[in-house]
Structure 1
Protein backbone atom coordinates (compact mmCIF):
# COMPACT_ATOMS: atom_id res chain seq x y z
CA UNK A 1 0.00 0.00 0.00
CA UNK A 2 2.97 2.27 -0.59
CA UNK A 3 1.12 4.11 -3.37
CA UNK A 4 -1.65 5.31 -1.04
CA UNK A 5 -1.60 8.94 0.08
CA UNK A 6 -3.63 10.48 2.89
CA UNK A 7 -5.50 13.76 3.13
CA UNK A 8 -7.71 15.61 5.60
CA UNK A 9 -10.73 16.77 3.60
CA UNK A 10 -13.25 19.32 4.90
CA UNK A 11 -16.80 18.44 3.94
CA UNK A 12 -20.24 19.19 5.36
CA UNK A 13 -18.88 20.73 8.55
CA UNK A 14 -16.47 17.91 9.42
CA UNK A 15 -12.99 16.83 8.40
CA UNK A 16 -12.61 13.33 7.00
CA UNK A 17 -9.33 11.45 6.98
CA UNK A 18 -9.14 10.06 3.46
CA UNK A 19 -6.90 7.58 1.65
CA UNK A 20 -6.41 7.90 -2.09
CA UNK A 21 -4.62 6.07 -4.88
CA UNK A 22 -4.51 5.94 -8.64
CA UNK A 23 -4.25 8.67 -11.30
CA UNK A 24 -5.71 11.96 -10.16
CA UNK A 25 -7.13 12.57 -13.63
CA UNK A 26 -8.87 9.20 -13.68
CA UNK A 27 -12.60 8.72 -13.08
CA UNK A 28 -13.41 8.98 -9.38
CA UNK A 29 -14.29 5.87 -7.38
CA UNK A 30 -15.36 6.41 -3.77
CA UNK A 31 -15.28 3.40 -1.44
CA UNK A 32 -17.33 3.56 1.76
CA UNK A 33 -16.64 1.23 4.69
CA UNK A 34 -19.16 -0.04 7.21
CA UNK A 35 -19.28 -0.89 10.92
CA UNK A 36 -16.89 -1.48 12.63
CA UNK A 37 -14.24 -0.84 9.98
CA UNK A 38 -12.46 2.20 8.58
CA UNK A 39 -10.78 3.00 5.27
CA UNK A 40 -8.45 0.01 5.78
CA UNK A 41 -11.34 -2.39 5.23
CA UNK A 42 -11.07 -1.75 1.48
CA UNK A 43 -7.31 -2.33 1.30
CA UNK A 44 -7.64 -5.35 -1.00
CA UNK A 45 -9.78 -3.47 -3.53
CA UNK A 46 -7.86 -0.19 -3.72
CA UNK A 47 -4.92 -1.31 -5.86
CA UNK A 48 -6.97 -3.20 -8.49
CA UNK A 49 -9.17 -0.15 -9.01
CA UNK A 50 -6.18 2.19 -9.12
CA UNK A 51 -4.41 -0.10 -11.59
CA UNK A 52 -7.55 0.02 -13.76
CA UNK A 53 -7.13 3.81 -13.99
CA UNK A 54 -9.52 5.00 -11.31
CA UNK A 55 -8.77 7.75 -8.83
CA UNK A 56 -9.72 5.82 -5.71
CA UNK A 57 -10.83 7.76 -2.64
CA UNK A 58 -11.55 5.94 0.63
CA UNK A 59 -12.58 8.02 3.65
CA UNK A 60 -12.80 7.17 7.29
CA UNK A 61 -16.45 8.14 7.51
CA UNK A 62 -17.50 10.55 10.24
CA UNK A 63 -17.06 9.08 13.69
CA UNK A 64 -14.41 6.60 12.60
CA UNK A 65 -10.66 6.38 13.15
CA UNK A 66 -9.00 9.74 12.34
CA UNK A 67 -12.08 11.57 11.07
CA UNK A 68 -14.09 14.05 13.15
CA UNK A 69 -16.48 12.65 15.74
CA UNK A 70 -19.18 15.24 16.45
CA UNK A 71 -21.26 14.59 19.54
CA UNK A 72 -24.98 13.84 19.38
CA UNK A 73 -26.94 11.29 17.39
CA UNK A 74 -28.48 14.06 15.28
CA UNK A 75 -25.08 14.34 13.56
CA UNK A 76 -25.29 10.78 12.20
CA UNK A 77 -28.57 10.68 10.26
CA UNK A 78 -28.45 9.23 6.77
CA UNK A 79 -28.91 12.63 5.09
CA UNK A 80 -25.91 13.99 6.99
CA UNK A 81 -23.78 10.97 6.12
CA UNK A 82 -24.82 11.32 2.48
CA UNK A 83 -23.88 14.99 2.40
CA UNK A 84 -20.41 14.16 3.72
CA UNK A 85 -19.84 12.07 0.61
CA UNK A 86 -21.30 14.66 -1.73
CA UNK A 87 -18.76 17.13 -0.38
CA UNK A 88 -16.00 14.57 -0.85
CA UNK A 89 -17.00 13.92 -4.45
CA UNK A 90 -17.19 17.61 -5.34
CA UNK A 91 -13.80 18.17 -3.69
CA UNK A 92 -12.16 15.79 -6.14
CA UNK A 93 -14.17 16.13 -9.35
CA UNK A 94 -16.77 18.10 -11.28
CA UNK A 95 -18.06 14.84 -12.71
CA UNK A 96 -20.03 11.96 -11.29
CA UNK A 97 -18.34 9.24 -9.25
CA UNK A 98 -18.55 5.50 -9.03
CA UNK A 99 -19.69 4.83 -5.46
CA UNK A 100 -19.01 1.48 -3.78
CA UNK A 101 -20.16 0.68 -0.24
CA UNK A 102 -20.14 -2.22 2.20
CA UNK A 103 -22.48 -2.58 5.19
CA UNK A 104 -23.30 0.92 6.54
CA UNK A 105 -21.16 2.40 3.78
CA UNK A 106 -23.49 0.66 1.36
CA UNK A 107 -26.50 2.18 3.10
CA UNK A 108 -25.00 5.63 2.60
CA UNK A 109 -24.24 4.75 -1.03
CA UNK A 110 -27.81 3.56 -1.66
CA UNK A 111 -29.23 6.72 -0.10
CA UNK A 112 -26.90 8.96 -2.09
CA UNK A 113 -27.76 7.27 -5.38
CA UNK A 114 -31.49 7.31 -4.60
CA UNK A 115 -31.82 10.90 -3.44
CA UNK A 116 -28.93 12.71 -5.20
CA UNK A 117 -28.31 10.65 -8.36
CA UNK A 118 -26.60 13.55 -10.11
CA UNK A 119 -23.43 12.66 -8.20
CA UNK A 120 -23.34 8.93 -8.97
CA UNK A 121 -22.30 7.31 -12.25
CA UNK A 122 -22.67 3.71 -11.07
CA UNK A 123 -23.40 2.11 -7.73
CA UNK A 124 -22.00 -1.08 -6.22
CA UNK A 125 -23.06 -2.26 -2.78
CA UNK A 126 -21.84 -5.26 -0.81
CA UNK A 127 -23.95 -7.16 1.72
CA UNK A 128 -26.41 -4.38 2.35
CA UNK A 129 -29.96 -4.11 1.02
CA UNK A 130 -31.48 -0.81 0.05
CA UNK A 131 -32.33 0.75 3.45
CA UNK A 132 -35.94 1.37 2.50
CA UNK A 133 -36.30 -2.27 1.43
CA UNK A 134 -34.92 -3.36 4.80
CA UNK A 135 -37.44 -1.17 6.61
CA UNK A 136 -40.29 -2.54 4.54
CA UNK A 137 -39.37 -6.24 4.68
CA UNK A 138 -37.94 -6.76 8.17
CA UNK A 139 -41.15 -6.19 10.24
CA UNK A 140 -42.85 -8.99 8.30
CA UNK A 141 -39.93 -11.43 8.18
CA UNK A 142 -39.29 -13.02 11.60
CA UNK A 143 -35.98 -14.71 10.62
CA UNK A 144 -34.47 -11.23 10.32
CA UNK A 145 -35.68 -10.13 13.77
CA UNK A 146 -33.08 -12.16 15.67
CA UNK A 147 -30.35 -11.19 13.23
CA UNK A 148 -31.17 -7.52 13.89
CA UNK A 149 -31.44 -7.78 17.68
CA UNK A 150 -28.01 -6.24 18.21
CA UNK A 151 -29.36 -2.97 16.78
CA UNK A 152 -31.77 -2.69 19.73
CA UNK A 153 -28.88 -3.27 22.13
CA UNK A 154 -26.88 -0.52 20.45
CA UNK A 155 -29.65 1.97 21.26
CA UNK A 156 -28.81 1.81 24.98
CA UNK A 157 -26.63 4.56 26.46
CA UNK A 158 -23.06 3.68 27.56
CA UNK A 159 -23.58 -0.06 28.03
CA UNK A 160 -22.74 -0.94 24.40
CA UNK A 161 -19.51 1.07 24.63
CA UNK A 162 -18.48 -0.87 27.73
CA UNK A 163 -19.39 -4.17 26.14
CA UNK A 164 -17.55 -3.50 22.90
CA UNK A 165 -14.38 -2.21 24.58
CA UNK A 166 -13.96 -4.93 27.18
CA UNK A 167 -11.28 -7.62 26.86
CA UNK A 168 -9.37 -5.64 24.24
CA UNK A 169 -12.37 -5.21 21.90
CA UNK A 170 -13.07 -8.94 21.84
CA UNK A 171 -16.64 -8.60 20.54
CA UNK A 172 -15.66 -6.42 17.58
CA UNK A 173 -12.63 -8.58 16.87
CA UNK A 174 -14.83 -11.69 16.86
CA UNK A 175 -17.49 -10.04 14.69
CA UNK A 176 -15.05 -9.71 11.81
CA UNK A 177 -12.95 -12.72 12.77
CA UNK A 178 -9.71 -10.76 12.92
CA UNK A 179 -7.65 -12.73 15.44
CA UNK A 180 -9.37 -16.00 14.56
CA UNK A 181 -8.40 -15.95 10.87
CA UNK A 182 -4.66 -15.36 10.54
CA UNK A 183 -4.82 -16.45 6.90
CA UNK A 184 -6.93 -13.37 6.22
CA UNK A 185 -5.72 -10.86 8.81
CA UNK A 186 -2.14 -10.23 9.88
CA UNK A 187 -1.12 -9.07 13.32
CA UNK A 188 -0.66 -5.62 11.79
CA UNK A 189 -4.26 -5.74 10.55
CA UNK A 190 -5.58 -6.64 14.00
CA UNK A 191 -3.56 -3.92 15.67
CA UNK A 192 -4.70 -1.34 13.11
CA UNK A 193 -8.37 -2.08 13.79
CA UNK A 194 -7.94 -1.96 17.56
CA UNK A 195 -6.03 1.30 17.30
CA UNK A 196 -8.93 2.79 15.32
CA UNK A 197 -11.52 1.52 17.82
CA UNK A 198 -9.50 2.91 20.71
CA UNK A 199 -9.41 6.50 19.52
CA UNK A 200 -11.12 8.95 21.84
CA UNK A 201 -14.85 9.07 21.22
CA UNK A 202 -14.74 6.52 18.40
CA UNK A 203 -16.98 3.81 19.85
CA UNK A 204 -19.74 6.25 20.77
CA UNK A 205 -19.55 7.93 17.38
CA UNK A 206 -19.63 4.58 15.57
CA UNK A 207 -22.64 3.46 17.61
CA UNK A 208 -24.39 6.76 16.93
CA UNK A 209 -24.87 5.60 13.33
CA UNK A 210 -27.25 2.98 14.78
CA UNK A 211 -28.75 5.28 17.38
CA UNK A 212 -29.64 7.78 14.68
CA UNK A 213 -31.97 5.21 13.11
CA UNK A 214 -34.69 6.40 15.48
CA UNK A 215 -34.14 9.91 14.13
CA UNK A 216 -34.78 8.80 10.57
CA UNK A 217 -31.37 7.24 10.17
CA UNK A 218 -32.42 4.75 7.49
CA UNK A 219 -34.24 7.16 5.26
CA UNK A 220 -37.64 6.86 3.58
CA UNK A 221 -39.95 4.03 4.56
CA UNK A 222 -41.09 3.33 0.99
CA UNK A 223 -38.59 2.28 -1.69
CA UNK A 224 -37.97 4.96 -4.26
CA UNK A 225 -37.28 4.39 -7.93
CA UNK A 226 -33.54 3.88 -8.27
CA UNK A 227 -32.29 6.27 -10.98
CA UNK A 228 -28.74 4.86 -10.98
CA UNK A 229 -27.72 1.41 -12.30
CA UNK A 230 -26.38 -0.84 -9.57
CA UNK A 231 -24.77 -4.14 -8.73
CA UNK A 232 -25.42 -5.82 -5.38
CA UNK A 233 -22.76 -8.33 -4.27
CA UNK A 234 -23.73 -10.66 -1.43
CA UNK A 235 -21.80 -13.22 0.62
CA UNK A 236 -24.45 -15.87 1.21
CA UNK A 237 -23.44 -16.78 4.78
CA UNK A 238 -24.17 -13.35 6.25
CA UNK A 239 -25.12 -13.82 9.91
CA UNK A 240 -26.60 -10.32 10.28
CA UNK A 241 -28.62 -9.92 7.08
CA UNK A 242 -30.87 -12.46 5.40
CA UNK A 243 -30.56 -13.35 1.72
CA UNK A 244 -34.23 -12.41 1.41
CA UNK A 245 -33.29 -8.76 1.85
CA UNK A 246 -30.96 -9.03 -1.14
CA UNK A 247 -33.59 -10.78 -3.25
CA UNK A 248 -36.26 -8.26 -2.29
CA UNK A 249 -33.94 -5.39 -3.19
CA UNK A 250 -33.52 -6.85 -6.67
CA UNK A 251 -37.27 -7.45 -6.96
CA UNK A 252 -38.32 -3.98 -5.79
CA UNK A 253 -35.53 -2.14 -7.60
CA UNK A 254 -35.10 -4.06 -10.86
CA UNK A 255 -32.63 -1.86 -12.74
CA UNK A 256 -29.58 -3.62 -11.32
CA UNK A 257 -28.13 -7.06 -10.81
CA UNK A 258 -27.58 -9.29 -7.79
CA UNK A 259 -24.66 -11.69 -7.47
CA UNK A 260 -24.33 -14.17 -4.62
CA UNK A 261 -20.89 -15.42 -3.58
CA UNK A 262 -20.77 -18.88 -2.04
CA UNK A 263 -18.59 -19.76 0.93
CA UNK A 264 -18.48 -16.14 2.04
CA UNK A 265 -20.05 -14.12 4.84
CA UNK A 266 -20.85 -10.49 5.54
CA UNK A 267 -17.08 -9.95 5.33
CA UNK A 268 -16.80 -11.10 1.74
CA UNK A 269 -14.55 -8.17 0.79
CA UNK A 270 -11.88 -9.78 2.98
CA UNK A 271 -12.72 -13.44 2.38
CA UNK A 272 -12.98 -13.29 -1.41
CA UNK A 273 -11.07 -10.12 -2.35
CA UNK A 274 -10.14 -11.25 -5.87
CA UNK A 275 -13.71 -12.24 -6.70
CA UNK A 276 -15.07 -8.96 -5.31
CA UNK A 277 -12.48 -6.95 -7.25
CA UNK A 278 -13.30 -8.90 -10.42
CA UNK A 279 -17.03 -8.29 -10.00
CA UNK A 280 -16.41 -4.60 -9.42
CA UNK A 281 -14.16 -4.28 -12.47
CA UNK A 282 -16.51 -6.34 -14.66
CA UNK A 283 -19.47 -4.16 -13.78
CA UNK A 284 -17.62 -0.89 -14.30
CA UNK A 285 -16.54 -2.04 -17.77
CA UNK A 286 -20.12 -2.71 -18.88
Structure 2
Protein backbone atom coordinates (compact mmCIF):
# COMPACT_ATOMS: atom_id res chain seq x y z
CA UNK A 1 0.00 0.00 0.00
CA UNK A 2 1.23 3.49 -0.86
CA UNK A 3 0.46 6.58 1.22
CA UNK A 4 0.20 9.91 -0.58
CA UNK A 5 -0.11 13.17 1.30
CA UNK A 6 -0.62 16.55 -0.29
CA UNK A 7 -1.86 20.00 0.61
CA UNK A 8 -4.44 21.84 -1.47
CA UNK A 9 -5.41 25.46 -0.71
CA UNK A 10 -4.39 25.16 2.91
CA UNK A 11 -6.06 21.82 3.66
CA UNK A 12 -4.12 18.62 4.17
CA UNK A 13 -5.44 15.69 2.12
CA UNK A 14 -4.50 12.04 2.44
CA UNK A 15 -5.10 9.27 -0.10
CA UNK A 16 -4.44 5.59 0.44
CA UNK A 17 -3.81 3.66 -2.74
CA UNK A 18 -3.95 -0.12 -2.68
CA UNK A 19 -3.95 -2.74 -5.39
CA UNK A 20 -6.15 -4.89 -3.18
CA UNK A 21 -8.69 -2.44 -1.80
CA UNK A 22 -9.90 0.97 -2.90
CA UNK A 23 -11.15 3.58 -0.48
CA UNK A 24 -14.97 3.67 -0.48
CA UNK A 25 -15.86 7.37 -0.61
CA UNK A 26 -19.40 6.56 0.50
CA UNK A 27 -18.27 4.91 3.73
CA UNK A 28 -18.90 7.23 6.72
CA UNK A 29 -15.75 8.97 7.92
CA UNK A 30 -13.64 8.44 4.81
CA UNK A 31 -14.10 11.88 3.24
CA UNK A 32 -15.45 13.97 6.11
CA UNK A 33 -15.94 13.30 9.84
CA UNK A 34 -18.78 11.07 11.00
CA UNK A 35 -21.99 12.67 12.19
CA UNK A 36 -23.89 11.91 15.38
CA UNK A 37 -25.99 9.46 13.37
CA UNK A 38 -22.82 7.52 12.56
CA UNK A 39 -20.90 7.92 15.83
CA UNK A 40 -23.01 7.55 18.99
CA UNK A 41 -20.11 8.70 21.17
CA UNK A 42 -20.45 12.29 19.98
CA UNK A 43 -22.33 14.65 22.33
CA UNK A 44 -25.83 15.19 20.98
CA UNK A 45 -29.46 16.03 21.67
CA UNK A 46 -32.54 14.67 19.90
CA UNK A 47 -35.05 17.43 19.21
CA UNK A 48 -37.68 18.28 16.61
CA UNK A 49 -37.26 15.07 14.66
CA UNK A 50 -33.49 15.22 14.26
CA UNK A 51 -30.27 14.67 16.19
CA UNK A 52 -27.99 17.65 16.69
CA UNK A 53 -24.36 17.67 17.70
CA UNK A 54 -24.43 19.84 20.83
CA UNK A 55 -22.53 20.62 24.01
CA UNK A 56 -22.81 23.09 26.86
CA UNK A 57 -20.55 24.84 29.35
CA UNK A 58 -21.33 26.41 32.71
CA UNK A 59 -24.12 26.37 35.26
CA UNK A 60 -27.33 24.88 33.78
CA UNK A 61 -29.36 27.36 35.84
CA UNK A 62 -27.44 30.41 34.62
CA UNK A 63 -28.73 32.67 31.88
CA UNK A 64 -28.60 30.85 28.55
CA UNK A 65 -26.26 32.14 25.84
CA UNK A 66 -26.99 30.21 22.66
CA UNK A 67 -24.28 30.52 20.02
CA UNK A 68 -25.54 30.45 16.43
CA UNK A 69 -22.76 29.66 13.99
CA UNK A 70 -22.28 30.91 10.46
CA UNK A 71 -22.94 29.38 7.08
CA UNK A 72 -25.49 28.34 6.14
CA UNK A 73 -23.77 24.97 6.39
CA UNK A 74 -20.82 25.70 8.68
CA UNK A 75 -20.47 24.54 12.29
CA UNK A 76 -19.64 25.91 15.73
CA UNK A 77 -16.03 24.74 16.11
CA UNK A 78 -14.52 28.16 15.34
CA UNK A 79 -16.88 29.78 17.87
CA UNK A 80 -15.79 27.75 20.88
CA UNK A 81 -13.99 30.74 22.40
CA UNK A 82 -17.46 31.87 23.50
CA UNK A 83 -17.42 29.14 26.16
CA UNK A 84 -15.31 31.50 28.30
CA UNK A 85 -18.62 33.13 29.27
CA UNK A 86 -19.33 30.02 31.33
CA UNK A 87 -16.71 31.27 33.81
CA UNK A 88 -18.89 34.35 34.31
CA UNK A 89 -21.98 32.38 35.33
CA UNK A 90 -23.62 31.90 31.94
CA UNK A 91 -24.81 28.58 30.53
CA UNK A 92 -23.28 28.58 27.06
CA UNK A 93 -24.94 26.34 24.46
CA UNK A 94 -23.39 25.26 21.18
CA UNK A 95 -25.10 23.20 18.50
CA UNK A 96 -24.38 22.39 14.90
CA UNK A 97 -27.48 23.42 13.01
CA UNK A 98 -29.52 20.72 11.28
CA UNK A 99 -27.50 19.09 8.50
CA UNK A 100 -24.27 20.90 9.37
CA UNK A 101 -21.07 20.03 11.17
CA UNK A 102 -21.49 16.77 13.05
CA UNK A 103 -25.29 16.96 13.20
CA UNK A 104 -27.48 14.49 11.34
CA UNK A 105 -27.83 15.04 7.59
CA UNK A 106 -31.14 15.43 5.79
CA UNK A 107 -32.11 15.70 2.14
CA UNK A 108 -31.83 19.10 0.52
CA UNK A 109 -35.55 19.58 -0.09
CA UNK A 110 -36.41 19.25 3.61
CA UNK A 111 -34.75 22.47 4.77
CA UNK A 112 -36.77 25.62 5.43
CA UNK A 113 -36.21 28.75 7.45
CA UNK A 114 -39.17 27.89 9.67
CA UNK A 115 -37.69 24.45 10.34
CA UNK A 116 -34.47 26.11 11.54
CA UNK A 117 -36.53 28.39 13.80
CA UNK A 118 -38.37 25.36 15.15
CA UNK A 119 -35.04 23.67 15.84
CA UNK A 120 -33.87 26.70 17.79
CA UNK A 121 -37.09 26.70 19.81
CA UNK A 122 -36.51 23.02 20.60
CA UNK A 123 -32.92 23.72 21.68
CA UNK A 124 -34.10 26.50 24.02
CA UNK A 125 -36.80 24.26 25.51
CA UNK A 126 -34.29 21.43 25.94
CA UNK A 127 -31.84 23.50 27.97
CA UNK A 128 -34.08 25.96 29.77
CA UNK A 129 -34.50 24.98 33.42
CA UNK A 130 -37.04 27.59 34.55
CA UNK A 131 -39.50 30.08 33.13
CA UNK A 132 -37.50 32.96 34.64
CA UNK A 133 -34.19 31.93 33.06
CA UNK A 134 -32.97 34.55 30.58
CA UNK A 135 -32.17 33.55 27.01
CA UNK A 136 -29.63 35.41 24.86
CA UNK A 137 -28.76 34.72 21.23
CA UNK A 138 -25.20 35.25 20.03
CA UNK A 139 -25.14 34.97 16.24
CA UNK A 140 -22.20 35.18 13.87
CA UNK A 141 -22.66 35.83 10.12
CA UNK A 142 -25.52 33.56 8.97
CA UNK A 143 -26.11 32.80 12.67
CA UNK A 144 -26.76 36.49 13.25
CA UNK A 145 -29.29 36.42 10.41
CA UNK A 146 -30.94 33.43 12.06
CA UNK A 147 -31.04 35.31 15.37
CA UNK A 148 -32.81 38.21 13.67
CA UNK A 149 -35.28 35.82 12.02
CA UNK A 150 -36.06 34.28 15.40
CA UNK A 151 -36.58 37.61 17.16
CA UNK A 152 -38.65 38.84 14.26
CA UNK A 153 -40.95 35.83 14.69
CA UNK A 154 -40.82 35.29 18.47
CA UNK A 155 -39.74 38.59 20.09
CA UNK A 156 -41.12 37.69 23.53
CA UNK A 157 -38.88 34.61 23.87
CA UNK A 158 -35.47 36.32 23.75
CA UNK A 159 -34.02 38.61 26.42
CA UNK A 160 -31.19 40.03 24.33
CA UNK A 161 -29.08 39.45 21.24
CA UNK A 162 -25.57 39.93 19.87
CA UNK A 163 -25.12 40.25 16.11
CA UNK A 164 -21.60 39.72 14.78
CA UNK A 165 -21.59 40.79 11.11
CA UNK A 166 -24.87 39.38 9.83
CA UNK A 167 -24.79 38.86 6.08
CA UNK A 168 -28.08 40.71 5.63
CA UNK A 169 -31.45 40.73 7.37
CA UNK A 170 -33.35 40.68 4.09
CA UNK A 171 -32.69 39.69 0.49
CA UNK A 172 -31.73 43.20 -0.57
CA UNK A 173 -29.09 43.58 2.14
CA UNK A 174 -27.76 40.07 1.55
CA UNK A 175 -27.31 40.85 -2.14
CA UNK A 176 -25.57 44.10 -1.25
CA UNK A 177 -23.17 42.35 1.08
CA UNK A 178 -22.58 39.48 -1.33
CA UNK A 179 -21.78 41.90 -4.14
CA UNK A 180 -18.74 43.17 -2.28
CA UNK A 181 -17.53 40.03 -0.52
CA UNK A 182 -16.36 36.49 -1.27
CA UNK A 183 -15.77 37.27 -4.95
CA UNK A 184 -13.93 34.66 -6.99
CA UNK A 185 -11.72 35.81 -9.81
CA UNK A 186 -12.51 33.28 -12.52
CA UNK A 187 -8.90 33.24 -13.66
CA UNK A 188 -7.32 32.99 -10.23
CA UNK A 189 -5.42 30.03 -8.88
CA UNK A 190 -8.07 29.73 -6.15
CA UNK A 191 -10.88 29.17 -8.63
CA UNK A 192 -8.81 26.65 -10.53
CA UNK A 193 -8.28 24.74 -7.29
CA UNK A 194 -12.03 24.75 -6.59
CA UNK A 195 -12.89 23.44 -10.05
CA UNK A 196 -10.06 20.90 -9.95
CA UNK A 197 -11.97 18.58 -7.62
CA UNK A 198 -14.79 18.08 -10.15
CA UNK A 199 -12.39 16.00 -12.21
CA UNK A 200 -12.38 13.36 -9.48
CA UNK A 201 -15.54 13.76 -7.38
CA UNK A 202 -18.93 14.68 -8.82
CA UNK A 203 -21.76 14.30 -6.34
CA UNK A 204 -25.48 14.26 -7.00
CA UNK A 205 -27.90 16.34 -4.91
CA UNK A 206 -27.90 14.17 -1.78
CA UNK A 207 -24.55 12.41 -2.07
CA UNK A 208 -23.62 14.22 1.09
CA UNK A 209 -20.08 13.07 1.78
CA UNK A 210 -18.84 13.91 -1.70
CA UNK A 211 -20.54 17.31 -1.76
CA UNK A 212 -19.45 18.16 1.78
CA UNK A 213 -15.87 17.23 0.96
CA UNK A 214 -15.83 19.43 -2.12
CA UNK A 215 -17.32 22.36 -0.21
CA UNK A 216 -14.66 21.96 2.48
CA UNK A 217 -11.95 22.16 -0.17
CA UNK A 218 -13.54 25.21 -1.79
CA UNK A 219 -13.95 27.09 1.48
CA UNK A 220 -10.31 28.11 1.57
CA UNK A 221 -10.94 30.95 -0.89
CA UNK A 222 -12.59 32.94 1.91
CA UNK A 223 -9.27 33.61 3.63
CA UNK A 224 -7.13 34.05 0.50
CA UNK A 225 -4.61 36.86 0.73
CA UNK A 226 -6.27 40.22 0.22
CA UNK A 227 -9.81 38.98 0.80
CA UNK A 228 -12.32 41.80 1.30
CA UNK A 229 -13.62 40.44 4.59
CA UNK A 230 -10.29 40.81 6.39
CA UNK A 231 -10.12 37.13 7.35
CA UNK A 232 -6.67 36.45 8.75
CA UNK A 233 -6.39 32.79 7.81
CA UNK A 234 -8.03 29.40 8.20
CA UNK A 235 -10.16 28.60 11.23
CA UNK A 236 -11.17 25.10 12.34
CA UNK A 237 -14.35 23.32 11.32
CA UNK A 238 -15.67 19.78 11.29
CA UNK A 239 -17.72 19.65 8.12
CA UNK A 240 -19.47 22.02 5.74
CA UNK A 241 -23.03 20.95 4.90
CA UNK A 242 -23.33 21.40 1.13
CA UNK A 243 -27.00 20.39 0.97
CA UNK A 244 -27.89 22.98 3.60
CA UNK A 245 -26.00 25.73 1.82
CA UNK A 246 -27.62 24.98 -1.52
CA UNK A 247 -31.08 24.69 0.04
CA UNK A 248 -30.88 28.16 1.57
CA UNK A 249 -29.36 29.66 -1.57
CA UNK A 250 -32.35 28.30 -3.48
CA UNK A 251 -34.76 29.73 -0.89
CA UNK A 252 -33.09 33.12 -1.09
CA UNK A 253 -33.07 33.20 -4.88
CA UNK A 254 -36.51 31.70 -5.52
CA UNK A 255 -38.58 32.91 -2.57
CA UNK A 256 -36.63 35.76 -1.03
CA UNK A 257 -36.77 36.52 2.67
CA UNK A 258 -37.25 39.41 5.07
CA UNK A 259 -36.34 39.08 8.75
CA UNK A 260 -37.05 42.75 9.52
CA UNK A 261 -40.83 43.13 9.48
CA UNK A 262 -41.26 43.17 13.29
CA UNK A 263 -37.79 44.05 14.56
CA UNK A 264 -38.78 47.63 15.41
CA UNK A 265 -41.23 46.21 17.95
CA UNK A 266 -38.35 44.64 19.89
CA UNK A 267 -37.59 47.18 22.61
CA UNK A 268 -34.64 45.39 24.21
CA UNK A 269 -31.08 46.65 23.82
CA UNK A 270 -29.13 44.71 21.18
CA UNK A 271 -25.42 44.67 20.38
CA UNK A 272 -23.84 44.85 16.91
CA UNK A 273 -20.18 43.95 16.36
CA UNK A 274 -18.13 44.47 13.22
CA UNK A 275 -14.46 43.96 12.37
CA UNK A 276 -12.30 46.93 11.46
CA UNK A 277 -10.70 45.07 8.54
CA UNK A 278 -13.87 43.83 6.84
CA UNK A 279 -14.15 46.15 3.86
CA UNK A 280 -17.47 44.57 2.83
CA UNK A 281 -19.22 45.29 6.13
CA UNK A 282 -17.95 48.27 8.09
CA UNK A 283 -19.82 50.85 10.12
CA UNK A 284 -22.14 51.83 7.27
CA UNK A 285 -23.49 48.32 6.83
CA UNK A 286 -23.75 47.80 10.58
CA UNK A 287 -25.84 50.96 10.78
CA UNK A 288 -28.19 49.71 8.07
CA UNK A 289 -28.86 46.52 10.01
CA UNK A 290 -28.99 48.17 13.42
CA UNK A 291 -31.58 50.67 12.15
CA UNK A 292 -34.25 47.97 12.22
CA UNK A 293 -34.02 47.88 16.02
CA UNK A 294 -35.20 50.48 18.53
CA UNK A 295 -32.21 50.29 20.90
CA UNK A 296 -29.05 49.11 19.11
CA UNK A 297 -25.45 49.65 20.08
CA UNK A 298 -22.65 49.28 17.50
CA UNK A 299 -19.05 48.53 18.43
CA UNK A 300 -16.02 48.10 16.17
CA UNK A 301 -13.58 45.31 17.00
CA UNK A 302 -10.14 46.59 16.04
CA UNK A 303 -7.52 44.84 13.92
CA UNK A 304 -9.67 41.93 12.71
CA UNK A 305 -12.24 40.96 10.13
CA UNK A 306 -15.21 38.69 9.72
CA UNK A 307 -13.81 35.85 11.87
CA UNK A 308 -13.35 38.09 14.91
CA UNK A 309 -14.69 35.51 17.37
CA UNK A 310 -11.89 33.11 16.49
CA UNK A 311 -8.99 35.48 15.83
CA UNK A 312 -9.72 38.38 18.23
CA UNK A 313 -11.83 36.88 20.99
CA UNK A 314 -9.71 38.75 23.54
CA UNK A 315 -11.18 41.97 22.13
CA UNK A 316 -14.70 40.62 21.60
CA UNK A 317 -15.05 39.04 25.04
CA UNK A 318 -15.10 42.15 27.27
CA UNK A 319 -17.62 43.88 24.99
CA UNK A 320 -19.93 40.87 24.99
CA UNK A 321 -19.59 40.37 28.75
CA UNK A 322 -20.43 44.02 29.47
CA UNK A 323 -23.53 43.71 27.32
CA UNK A 324 -24.72 40.51 28.98
CA UNK A 325 -24.01 41.77 32.48
CA UNK A 326 -26.10 44.88 31.80
CA UNK A 327 -29.18 42.68 32.12
CA UNK A 328 -28.37 41.58 35.68
Q: Taking structure 1 as the reference length, what is the TM-score of the superposition?
A: 0.76
Which among 93, 116, 119 is matched to residue 84 of structure 1? 119
Distance between the aligned counterparts of 1:116 and 1:81, measured in 2? 13
Tell me, yes or no, if structure 1 residue 255 matches structure 2 residue 295. yes
Match among 234, 245, 257 for residue 218 of structure 1: 257
Kept in 2, the 8 Å contact 1:16–1:60? The answer is: yes
What do the CA deviations read for 1:140-160 (whole angstroms, capped 9, x no partner)?
A: x6x86343768xxxxxx9699
Q: Indicate whether 1:145 and 2:179 are aligned.
A: yes
Q: 1:242 to 1:70 in 2, by over 3 A?
A: farther
8 Å contact from structure 1 (residues 122, 230) kept in 2: yes
Is structure 2 residue 141 aligned with structure 1 residue 98? no
Instruction: Find the aligned partners of 2:307 and 2:278 in 1 and give their Cα distance.
Output: 8
Among 215, 218, 232, which residue is 1:171 paired with?
218
Find the aligned partners of 1:15 and 1:163 in 2 and give their Cα distance.
Answer: 21
More helix by share: 1
Distance 1:217 1:86, change over 3 A: farther
The runs of 5 or more residues in structure 2 that have no matched partner are 1-40, 185-201, 225-231
Query: Greater Rg, structure 1 or structure 2?
Result: 2
- Unaligned runs of 5+ residues in structure 1 are 151-156, 178-182
* 2:279 equivalent to 1:244: no
Superposed displacement of residue 28, structure 1: 1.1
Q: CA deviation at 1:172?
A: 0.9
1:57 to 1:253, Cα distance in 2 relative to 1, 3 A: same
Higher relative contact order (CA 8 A, sep 6+): 1
C-alpha displacement of 1:217: 6.0
CA distance 1:222–1:236, change in 2 (3 Å): farther
Alignment TM-score, normalising by the size of structure 2: 0.67
- Quick check: 1:16 aligned with 2:52? yes
Task: Check if 1:59 corresponds to 2:95.
Answer: yes
